[in-house]
Structure 1
């Protein structure tokens, strides 16, 4: 075995040890949850304002992530840096808010002014720390105690297991609040319209074109061909006198009626009862239909009336596929 192979094996063994230690910490956290967790959820639900999440150092990084997760899942939240809070940002923390303060030791000096502010103005304080007797948890209205668990670094000085547990506790709070509010994927997209997640939750109505290629059933094919060229979708929808979509003319229809094409009407060339989709359906579902049918366009209809047209390229540009 070469030295590089030996080193690679050692690296993997280290990674497995770290992950195992942190997993044991998470298991202890789950086993130790009690009524105080439910009290924390109720305190957040009872707030008329926002969840002010704060922490210093590594706890501050975790606090930022927790605030972002809460905000994107329907619970207004904001990270406040404790050092900046002492220099004016305490004005962001109001009587309508609830504070979620993180500190593994519970004795972080920079948190003192923020804690005092919550006590002065009777702002509910949820503390997260590993020492029940710490200043933070003694002052808190709700104390969430992290279990005693070894840090994964081996020396016990690098926040690893403790930050993993704190992050998981924040996720648990966010999901408990989501379930209480019956938060849906559609609601999530409202707070997260960008990126891959936003794209996956896009609806047909978000991507479809409302300037549709449409002709009446009695339209001569020369006019129908002009409409196909004008709109650039490669198809044209055909409607009856009431405006209902009754068919669609595609490239395949044109080839099948090549002989004497220009002497026909749209109704004589079209494919009847084309596959359509509702505008409120997720765009991912529309892509699945197009892939299954080997087509590039779908008309969106309400009842039988066309309200838009979706092209596979629209979905590609939005990152749906």
Structure 2
């Protein structure tokens, strides 16, 4: 079982590497030109598993504030193509590039002079050869040993679809403010721009000579996941539960009397209270940390509290 999972992942990584190798700067410029010329709607279309990918990508683009929708290729031929015009931009997803429903839709799009970008496994299939821009976003080798389950191909389509989403977002100057406005009932939107000062938790500030036995007591009583080390409003360091656990494991017989200064993290990462939750989350991800000390923007030595991942589910 381990081998089959490992091979599946490896095959999909190889497929992604292949579509990256085929993508060129001239294709990027052509894509930007089509996006710049589009003043109507952005439509993604597909059938079967490709259809699910198309729905996801269209939904992601909508969340950036750009008009986008999913068009079912079969339903398009029964009236849903009606609103489309040459101000729109259509993305067609078909791994083989020979899907009958996609070819039928493509014929109608050409009659209406609607620009098309295709996401297929090659430039030589029927769908790709009729496109304004053909992108390699599929694979002839699926991840299963029968080479029939849509796996590598759908992964490639999703990767390219997400890359297109980011390109469109950058062109339209997407921002966290737009994302927040478009997610009024989602945790991401509700919290992204909250001032960090509204999400702070107080933590003990103890002397650097405090023995770890007392540090443990502070950690257990406060449930903050950390304690700060400092004196006379001067922040000197930080001790987290992880720091203490590692020390106890390495010195199980005499850890109690070790002073805090011997294990504290020097110069803990800080932000001031004018930053947002989004800023803090980004910084924690970049630095691979779980706690940020929040200080006053007028006085970097005045600690206001901490923002920590321990409380993320409560925010």
TM over 0.5: yes
Aligned with 2:117 (options 113, 121, 126): 126
TM alignment of 1:86-235, pairs within 5 A:
86-146=77-137, 148-204=139-195
Which residue of the partner structure matches residue 276 of structure 2? Answer: 282
- The structure-2 alpha-carbon separation of the partners of 1:57 and 1:285, relative to structure 1 and needing over 3 Å to count, comes to closer
CA displacement at 1:147 relative to structure 2: 6.2
- The structure-2 alpha-carbon separation of the partners of 1:319 and 1:282, relative to structure 1 and needing over 3 Å to count, comes to farther
- The structure-2 alpha-carbon separation of the partners of 1:97 and 1:285, relative to structure 1 and needing over 3 Å to count, comes to closer
- The structure-2 alpha-carbon separation of the partners of 1:12 and 1:90, relative to structure 1 and needing over 3 Å to count, comes to same
Asked if 1:293 corresponds to 2:295, the answer is no
Calculate the aligned-residue CA RMSD, in Å. Answer: 3.0
CA displacement at 1:283 relative to structure 2: 5.5
Structure 2 gap segments, 5+ residues each: 199-271, 281-291, 296-302
CA displacement at 1:319 relative to structure 2: 6.4
Contact 2:12 2:151 in 1 (8 A): yes
Which residue of the partner structure matches residue 20 of structure 1? Answer: 10
Between 38-47 and 25-34, the greater mean CA deviation after superposition = 38-47
3-state SS of the aligned residue for 1:112? helix
Contact 2:139 2:156 in 1 (8 A): no
Contact 1:59 1:102 in 2 (8 A): yes
1:53-88 Cα distance to aligned partner (Å, 9 max, x none): 000001001101111111112332100111111111
Contact 1:56 1:81 in 2 (8 A): yes
Provide the C-alpha distance between the structure 1 equivalents of 2:8 and 2:44, rounded to a whole number of angstroms. 27
Asked if 1:80 corresponds to 2:93, the answer is no
Which residue of the partner structure matches residue 60 of structure 1? Answer: 51
3-state SS of the aligned residue for 2:149? coil
- The structure-2 alpha-carbon separation of the partners of 1:45 and 1:193, relative to structure 1 and needing over 3 Å to count, comes to farther
3-state SS of the aligned residue for 2:167? helix
CA displacement at 1:96 relative to structure 2: 1.4
CA displacement at 1:109 relative to structure 2: 1.0
CA displacement at 1:120 relative to structure 2: 0.9
CA displacement at 1:293 relative to structure 2: 3.5
Provide the C-alpha distance between the structure 2 equivalents of 1:19 and 1:181, rounded to a whole number of angstroms. 34
Structure with max Cα Rg: 1
Provide the C-alpha distance between the structure 1 equivalents of 2:140 and 2:129, rounded to a whole number of angstroms. 21
Which residue of the partner structure matches residue 32 of structure 1? Answer: 22
Provide the C-alpha distance between the structure 2 equivalents of 1:148 and 1:57, rounded to a whole number of angstroms. 16
- The structure-2 alpha-carbon separation of the partners of 1:12 and 1:113, relative to structure 1 and needing over 3 Å to count, comes to same
- The structure-2 alpha-carbon separation of the partners of 1:293 and 1:47, relative to structure 1 and needing over 3 Å to count, comes to same
- The structure-2 alpha-carbon separation of the partners of 1:85 and 1:186, relative to structure 1 and needing over 3 Å to count, comes to same
Instruction: Say how many residue pairs are matched.
Output: 219
CA displacement at 1:284 relative to structure 2: 6.6
- The structure-2 alpha-carbon separation of the partners of 1:180 and 1:95, relative to structure 1 and needing over 3 Å to count, comes to closer
Structure 1 gap segments, 5+ residues each: 1-10, 208-275, 296-315
1:203-241 Cα distance to aligned partner (Å, 9 max, x none): 35xx9xxxxxxxxxxxxxxxxxxxxxxxxxxxxxxxxxx
Contact 1:283 1:320 in 2 (8 A): no
3-state SS of the aligned residue for 1:18? helix
Contact 1:129 1:146 in 2 (8 A): yes
1:262-282 Cα distance to aligned partner (Å, 9 max, x none): xxxxxxxxxxxxxx966xx63
